[in-house]
Amino acid sequence: MNWHIKRNRLNVEELINEESLFFLGNGYLGVRGNFEEGYPDESPTIRGTYINAFHDIIDIPYGEKLYGFPDTQQKMLNVQDTQSVHIYLGEEEELYTLEQGQVLNYSRKLLLDEGSTAREIYWKSPLGKELNIRFERLVSFVHRELFMIKLTLIPVNFSGKLKVVSSVSGDVENYVNEEDPRVATGEAKRLHLSRLLVNEDVGYIESQAEVSRLLAGCMTRHYTDVNAEMSVYKDDHSKQLLFEYVWEAEESVPASLTKRTIFVDSLRHEGDLYEAAIQLQQSLEDWRDDELFHKQKEYMVQFWRHGDVRVGGDFKLQEGLRFNLYHLLQSVGRDSYSNISAKGLSGEGYEGHYFWDTEIYMFPVFLMIAPDLARKLLIYRYSILSHAKNRAAEMGHQQGALFPWRTISGKECSSYFPAGTAQYHISADIAYSYIQYYQATGDTDFLLDYGVELLVETARLWMDVGHLNKNGFSINNVTGPDEYTAIVNNNYYTNVMAKHNLIWAVKAYQLAKRKNSKRVKDLAETLCLTKEELEEFKQAAVTMNLPYDSQFGINPQDDTFLNKAVWDMKNTPADEFPLLLHFHPLTLYRYQVCKQADTVLAHFLLEDEQDFETIRNSYNYYEKITTHDSSLSTCVFSMMAAKLGDLEKAFHYFGDSARLDLDNMHGNTKDGLHMANMAGSFMAIVFGFAGLRIKENGLHFTPKLPEQWSDYSFHVHGQGQLISACVTSQYMRLKLIDANRPVEVHVNGLHYRIKPDETLKVFLAD
């Protein structure tokens, strides 16, 4: 139940959104859900295939360029289009198309439990021939370079000639939109054909990025279960490979044709890409289609065993949750070259850049359900640490690491510094994720290999950018998560996250030293880290300026936020939201108006820094002036409403989060899915209603049940063990899955020890 996303009606106007909804990926490769046969003329489409981190470098134009502004940015490229398949019926060669004939029946499914899609069309040609058409797709989790389309044709009322022409195009470009700053505005054509080859029944296309000189190649071969005449040829003019198959079909007898494409790129595949593709293609030669689909399903069974979240009594929310988790899995990078972008691999919004979204929203999901993937996200950030140190120096700092606001390869891509480079908090966000990983796993070896160095270098940034004055350790001229307020002093979020970073730079060093003192001594020498510097970290943390207003009993967003006029939300027309598309940034900066959670988010991440009443007062204050124009916002308000005991509001905000893309609530699903929001729907259950917090002494739960649900259940990892959790109106049940040792947890402030052969049931009245 709730494992299939279905469309049983063909709505041409919705197809561009469905391209995102039905995309398939595996963290390396992403293919949008375009129709093999294409759409009716003038129907909008964004036809796309993407390799995670495969990019070109483009110049950033400035009317007025100042020192430290990035010269260039990276842009994720649309690579070779292998999706096209055209079907011709009879001697007349009637072309199957949505513009001609009649669609008698139609269905489309995204199979969340099997990791594939299926589309079925019952079509009647203008001359009366009826044909059942089935397209099945797979982007393999087991064989990362493989994209497969299986076509099955069944003539319903005729026998005779069938012809299938399958093509691969090297003439591709990126989508642009001059009207929307969330989408690229130029530089569409960046990938250029370098090789076009045919070798018997195999075709190969290789293309090169214009400036980065990165190479992407794809090798295509077809397999069929009928005795077909085959022709393969290349068209140098159109930069295409064409594969033609012709056979005599029999009425009611199914025939199948499978198109397998291997993608390779010069980031990950050594030597000649053509040879690499041949080896990969040959390694799959003995795999039958059904075996590939079966292996994919096995992978998904294992994922859902750890990742499924079940909600009793709400079909639509259940559907949204599984849909969101599935697409997160499809988009998360699995190597040191890649991360997970704001749109994943589903579309071109934000040009494939990685943001702080990864660490604060998406990383916690994988930390709880797939810690091995979470670890790889952290290793990617470590791999670009040298770029972060260079960026800090470029920004005038004598020490430290300033991670880029948006990037692919490690260099800053943001040209608008007030809401980009000025968001220094990204360095603290990355540090926070390293700390969370250690607290959840207890992996001290990870601290030795990566954590101490990264935490020290990010802590050094705060020592350089901040200074001690009469109000404490202050950090000036930065921007917090709220992009409607920029370049402020003592942004609460930034300061409290910097404090956490500084404290844990010292703790990580001490923990690692206890694990391996010799290695830490060598590391300290490499980093030129002294006891005096560690003591300075501690003092800065202790004296950190965390703004507080006694009149309202809140943490102001920054030093001057409460001095501004409050935006007139009530009289702002609905069609003027999101505000960033209708008002100049300076206009927004002059008002108390928030695009998204800022201080409220800080209270979620570091709740022990403030008392309960301050957190409650701050929530109530900021709720009135937050537009939620960012998809990152509602899940945070849901989690904090749950903490405060307002389950009605928590449920309301959660509903907005869970189905944002399925229902296209922001009107831009066509540009790609909102990955951080998708992660937020998981967090709203596990960190919101279940009240999970990852702390130094283990996992803490404060479970609550919305009245709309009968129960909910999920899995989390803690201390290297998988924990199954269920919450009802009466109790929380915790059980270890395949555990080899006990796990310590806290429920409603009380400490419990779960043994491998026992089930812990905590009654909520207690």
Q: Which residue numbers are catalytic?
A: 483
363 three-class SS = helix
Q: How far is the C-alpha of 348 from the C-alpha of 433, rounded, in Å?
A: 26
Residue 166, strand partner residues:
85, 243
Residues 6+ apart with CB under 8 A from 244: 163, 164, 165, 166, 230, 231, 232
Q: Which amino acid, one-letter code, is at 107? A: S
| CA–CA separation, 477 and 487 (whole Å) | 5
Q: What are phi and psi of 454, to 5 degrees?
A: -65, -40
Tokens of 710: 């009968």
Question: Cα 655 from chain centroid?
Answer: 19
Q: CB–CB of 325/317 below 8 Å?
A: no
Does an H or E element contain 168, and which?
Answer: strand 160-169
**H-helix or E-strand containing 655?**
helix 647-658
Cβ contact 169:81 at 8 Å = yes
> For the stretch 584-594, what's the b/e string if a residue is b when 16 or more beta carbons lie within 10 angstroms of its beta carbon?
eeeebbebbbb
Instruction: Tell me if residue 32 falls in helix, strand or coil.
Output: coil
d(CA 422, CA 413): 13
229-235 β-sheet, strand order: 94-95, 85-89, 160-169, 240-249, 229-235
Biggest CA–CA distance in the chain, Å, is 89
- In terms of phi and psi (left: phi > 0; alpha: psi -120 to 50; beta: otherwise), the region of 662 is alpha
**3 state SS for 35-70:** CCCCCCCCCCCCCCEEEEEEEEEEECCCCCCCCCCC
CB 466 within 8 A of CB 474: yes
329 in Cβ contact with 306 (< 8 Å): no
